[in-house]
Chain A
């Protein structure tokens, strides 16, 4: 009974009058037009395919950045080393007010940066006795001793302008030997495949090489040159002049303004904001005020201007 009453309260769209309409014909014509448009756009503008950055290219083009990044992975000061969940427990991850979703989800992809990015790749291939001894002495040293070596080498690298070749003698222990050999492996291209093979023969997970690349500044500088950086509306852009994911503008917008652009919990804040806005978008029909916007901004009068003109010319109007 209730259903009938509610159904009866709604006007039948066809009670306003109707005209002939060929649904299938309209669909076929639209399909042909859109297909033709896509084919023409593809032929005219193609699609971007900029080659990926390899660790080999990075180590060859910017050896100072590569060495500084490898050192940061070794001494646990890289962004990944201090990331927190899902990679490690170095921090609790971002929070949305009192809600710590990252921490609640936990460490599901454990990464010990010194082992994953430096020691395992060195141990995975035959090495000279000097390198074997360097690996052995670093692994067997205490954490304090390791920190003293890496700290001293970091200071020396900074003083030398990042160029390992200009670093003088000092108490760095085996660190220069380890990083020099890792740089050799990187330049030869073997480090790319070693980081992929750490998880087995069949592997499609690029988390390790991508995190290593992202910890350096080479990839980010390249992206900035392609107007892809976070403060350049980030990943909604596409290389070159391609339109990219413009529909992500409501998401990337928040990264351009305070406090999202400077907060340590910026990503969580953006997602929290987008969660609220997304729910409002989906639930517009139930939100007082928001659902009245079409009435307050009567664009519908433009859309249905013929209907209203016909109604004004020939009353009475449609049944309600």
Chain B
């Protein structure tokens, strides 16, 4: 059904109404206003080197993604026969090492900050899931290198996955299946989880230090 045409000049959005589109827009604006998403001030207690590892993790993920896309353009075998391809593979490898190192430090820091306090449990959960998803993505990367290490890791990893029934559907010795998981399915999963994590961080803000009396009792969570 088409609404009646309005001839006089109007704004692009209706302050109220607007159907599902309007409802979704207002929900997004309410949940994550731009001044929270792109704040230009930060709480005074954010003054420690440990905070750097969040943005380092994110930027390492960007380098991993960019080098991975560059490798994907020429296909999975290219890096074995091209010097530049081998260098790009090296960039990809070291970016992954940096990513996992930065993320590990970030996680340890957030654990000791009890960063789930103040209705931030989901922020912690998405971060922890992102770590697992990145580790699993890295494993599939090692499986598709097409060298000795791929052979060995595949023959070892199969036993663990077969033991819990996963190997029946996720065959680490199936190169084609692993390529698709590594370059499509798992990056998509990592991207969604990381995006959700960032949105939650921006929405709830950086967890404040516990007050002296708060430090004497268990940190509050959504569940408590």
Q: Footprint of B on A, CB under 8 Å?
A: 6, 10-14, 16-24, 26-27, 30-31, 33-35, 37-39, 41-43, 45-53, 83, 85-86, 93-94, 96, 101-102, 104-109, 204-207, 210-211, 213-214, 219, 222-223, 226, 228, 230, 234-235, 238-239, 242-243, 245-248, 265, 267-268, 270-272, 278, 281-286, 288, 291-295, 297-300, 303-304, 306-308, 310, 317-318, 320
Contacts and interface: CB of A to CB of B under 8 A. Distances in A.
A23 B157 contact: no
B135 interface: yes
Contacts of B129: 282
Q: Which of A214, A234, A242 has the most CB atoms of chain B within a 10 A radius of its CB?
A: A214
Nearest to A34: B59
Contacts, number: 299
Contact of A210 (B39, B58, B112, B155): B155
B17 interface: no
A284 B114 CA distance: 9
A27 B58 CA distance: 9
Given A235-B156, A286-B221, 10 more contacts: A34-B60, A106-B168, A272-B164, A282-B132, A286-B223, A291-B218, A292-B219, A295-B218, A307-B44, A307-B209
B125 A102 contact: no
Nearest to A95: B163
A84 B121 CA distance: 42
Contact of A271 (B94, B163, B207, B210): B163
Q: Which of A85, A245, A288 has the most CB atoms of chain B within a 10 A radius of its CB?
A: A245
Nearest to B119: A10
Contacts of A246: 100
Contacts of A284: 111, 116, 124, 128
Given A207-B171, A219-B151, A247-B100, A300 B113 contact: yes
A216 to B, nearest CB: 11
Given A214-B155, A271-B163, A295 B114 contact: yes
Nearest to B122: A285
Q: Which of A14, A270, A292, A317 has the most CB atoms of chain B within a 10 A radius of its CB?
A: A14
A34 B63 contact: yes
B207 to A, nearest CB: 8
B13 interface: no
Contacts of B167: 86, 102, 105
B173 interface: yes
Interface residues of B, number: 101
B160 interface: yes
Contacts of B159: 267
Given A11-B118, A285-B223, A235 B209 contact: no
Q: Which 4 A-B pairs have the closest CB atoms?
A: A204-B176, A105-B165, A285-B116, A42-B90
B189 interface: no
Contacts of B150: 52
A47 B63 CA distance: 16
Interface of B: 38-48, 50, 52, 55-56, 58-60, 62-63, 67, 79-80, 86-87, 89-91, 93-95, 97-98, 100, 104, 109, 111-114, 116, 118-121, 124-125, 128-129, 131-132, 135, 138-139, 142, 145-157, 159-160, 162-169, 171, 173-177, 179, 205-211, 214-219, 221-223
25 contacts: A14-B205, A19-B44, A21-B40, A21-B41, A35-B63, A41-B97, A43-B87, A47-B93, A49-B86, A49-B145, A49-B147, A53-B151, A85-B168, A102-B164, A205-B176, A206-B154, A271-B164, A284-B116, A291-B218, A291-B219, A294-B111, A299-B112, A300-B113, A304-B113, A320-B214
B55 A27 contact: yes
A227 B147 CA distance: 16
Given A19-B41, A43-B87, A207-B171, A93 B163 contact: yes
A235 B205 contact: no
Given A21-B39, A283-B125, A285-B223, A213 B151 contact: yes
A210 B151 contact: yes
A298 B207 CA distance: 15
A86 B158 CA distance: 10
Contact of A204 (B94, B95, B168, B174): B174
A205 B132 CA distance: 26
Contact of A108 (B90, B164, B169): B169
A58 to B, nearest CB: 11
